[in-house]
Amino acid sequence: MNYLVTGTELLLGIFMLPFNVAHLGQSAYGLWILVASVTVYFSMLDMGYGVAQVRFVAKYRAHGDTTALNEVTSTMFCIFSGVGLFTFILAILISLNLDRLFPLTDAQVRTGQVVLLCISAYVALGFPFSVFGGIVNGFQRQYMNGAVAFATAIVVAGVNIIVLLSGYGLAELVASTTAVRILSYFAYALNAYRVFPGLRIRLKYFKRERLREVTGFSIFILIIDLANKLNYSTDAIVIGAFLGTSAVAVWAVAQRLIEIVQRITDQLNAVLFPVVVDNSTVQRTDKLQQILIQGTRLSLAMVVPIATVLGLTAWPVVLLWVGPEFSASVNVIYILSVVVALRVGNATSAVILKGSGLHKFLAFSNLSMAVGNLILSVLLVRAYGLIGVAIGTLIPMIVISMFVVFPAACRRVQLSVFTVVQRSVWPATWPAIVMGGFVLLTRGRTEGSWALIVLQSFVAAIIYAGLFLLFAVSRNERDWYFNKVKEVLRRRPVTSGPAELSIRT
């Protein structure tokens, strides 16, 4: 279900971006991206409690403790209600000063205020409603939330098309799509009561001791979230402040493609965290070594070929997708392709640190990278424009990923950096060099045709996969990969455990 939702959102995003730009105009679309990027920071007011709630819901579900579940959920609902109210008040204050923050015309300010308040209302209501999603995820019924997300994405896209084809503008578009998203919150709430009929959210269940318990875990999640937001979401604001909304729209084209690559290739590391925690707890260093080597190799094997093809075909892809007026995004794609390869390739190292007791080190490393990104982007944007912002993102990524996080993960599992590079990085990267040669030789023959670009990418993928499986890894490792795939395909669905049955009863 997660892959279905992700794939649907990516496909809709690819289609809707040029459609929205064509009907709204580059400046209005850039205004939308700029204002939306402000609201991204509101999610930091979650303070890590969302992830922490899922953890404690799962814990008390396993114990069959209905009272504790209701206390944790009610406590979080009260806290998040206050956070939501604060968020919307903050959004009102920002909207009243929008002209002071960005170089906007009077008409853009008025439209931007409407857009900001609509999106902020959705974000603010999302805080208290998130406790229902936490219940569903904690009960291991994520597919139910996925079904709601899938249906919501389809309906929102349909409403988007209808509104713009009817001749309405940005303000009406955001208001109508936001209304659909807010209505979806009630579906999430219904899911929570379905999986946990004993759910009772009451003020009397608010407990300070539960708040202290959850806060002890959430504080470092907050730091990591803060670093991620600074690292991945400040670029649009820097560009908007120094270069204007049209430049934001150009940046958004490159960023959207890079986000697609990351979402496709970084699914593996999301499921490695509990495995790392388990093996770290019982001090299975040999297992941690295997996780680091195989996780890094497979992460790179997924992201490097895709990032390489995207970087080498950026020009024809941009021209076909959004037209020559966005050609300035091509050079940005070249740089961000390297960024996403480093980010995904180093993700297993980050999981090792987070799951084996070095989460504080990881949190402050990520924060240092984010601050460096912001400072360099501000310094370089005036002289080099969009390229300067991209370089400001790349340099801290190289320094922190390659010289801080990766060596720390190697030390944690008691392997040398050279050993991990030799066994993980090199086998996953050298086939991409050969594949890249093929793309360069055939690049001039694919311009102007989506079919030829897709065919070229497919052949490139076959070249990479063949080299990787036949020559980059040993026969034993190749057999191990295929056996693991067979195990997954044969795996049966997990049935309800005694703890859940006792709660439902």
- Dist CA 353 CA 311 (whole Å): 30
Residue 456 has pLDDT above 90, yes or no: yes
pLDDT digits (tens, 9 = 90+) for 313-322: 999 999 998 8
Residue 500 has pLDDT above 50, yes or no: no
Distances (CA, A) of 361 to 178, 339, 369: 38, 21, 12
pLDDT digits (tens, 9 = 90+) for 248-300: 889 989 998 998 898 888 877 766 765 676 677 668 899 999 999 999 999 99
Q: In this predicted structure, what is the pLDDT of residue 414?
A: 95
Residue 24 exposure: Cα atoms within 13 Å on the Cβ side: 28
What is the dihedral angle through the alpha carbons of 328, 331, 337, 342, rounded to the nearest 10 degrees? -120
Amino acid at 330: V
Nearest partner of 60 among 505, 504, 501, 499, judged by Cα: 499
Positive or negative, the Cα torsion across 374, 130, 181, 105? negative
Q: What is the mean pLDDT of the segment spanning 2-31?
A: 85
- Dist CA 144 CA 40 (whole Å): 25
What is the dihedral angle through the alpha carbons of 141, 142, 145, 150, rounded to the nearest 10 degrees? -130
Residue 145 has pLDDT above 60, yes or no: yes
Q: In this predicted structure, what is the pLDDT of residue 271?
A: 65
- 183 vs 104, residue with greater confidence: 183
What is the dihedral angle through the alpha carbons of 36, 38, 41, 46, rounded to the nearest 10 degrees? -60
Positive or negative, the Cα torsion across 267, 271, 277, 279? negative
Secondary structure letter of residue 105 according to DSSP: -
Full DSSP string of 445-475:
GSTT-HHHHHHHHHHHHHHHHHHIIIIIS-H
- Dist CA 464 CA 258 (whole Å): 20
Full-model pTM: 0.70
- Contact status, residue 13 vs residue 260, Cβ threshold 8 Å: yes
Mean pLDDT of the chain: 87
pLDDT above 70 covers a percentage of the chain that reads 93
**CA angle at 306 for the pair 301 and 310, rounded to the nearest 5°:** 155
Q: What is the mean pLDDT of the segment spanning 357-370?
A: 87
Q: In this predicted structure, what is the pLDDT of residue 38?
A: 84
Any idea where the domains of the chain sit in the sequence? Answer: 1-206
Q: In this predicted structure, what is the pLDDT of residue 484?
A: 78
199: left (phi over 0), alpha (psi -120 to 50) or beta: beta
Secondary structure letter of residue 310 according to DSSP: H
Q: What is the mean pLDDT of the segment spanning 193-222?
A: 85
Contacts of 367 (CB under 8 A, 6+ apart): 223, 226, 227, 230
